[in-house]
């Protein structure tokens, strides 16, 4: 099974984030940090779970 770091680098993830209004810079930050680029929530605690995608789909918090 792939790790979240490997999944984050896949093309479809960037496409999903663009559909949800994330900028190129935010997508790059997510790929580098494996954290929400808007609120800073880290996702390494559930590397094989899909809660990160749900969070990114619904996060409306401003950047810290």
Calculate ∠ Cα 25-28-30, nearest 5°: 110
Question: Nearest-CA neighbor of 53 among 25, 23, 24, 30?
Answer: 30
The pTM (predicted TM-score) of the whole model is 0.80
Q: What range defines the domain where residue 51 resides?
A: 4-58
With cut-offs at 50, 70 and 90, classify the pLDDT of residue 44: confident
Number of domains in the chain: 1
CB atoms within 10 A of CB 8: 19
* C-alpha–C-alpha distance, residues 8 and 30, integer Å: 8
**8 domain-assigned:** yes
pLDDT at 32: 92
Q: Each residue of 12-42: pLDDT tens digit?
A: 999 999 999 999 999 999 999 999 999 998 8
**64 domain-assigned:** no
């Amino acid at each position: 099974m792939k790790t979240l770091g490997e999944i984050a680098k896949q093309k479809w993830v960037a496409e999903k984030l663009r559909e949800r209004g994330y900028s190129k810079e935010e997508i790059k930050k997510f790929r580098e940090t494996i954290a929400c680029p808007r609120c800073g929530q880290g996702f390494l605690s559930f590397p094989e779970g899909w809660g990160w995608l749900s969070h990114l789909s619904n996060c409306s918090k401003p950047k810290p």
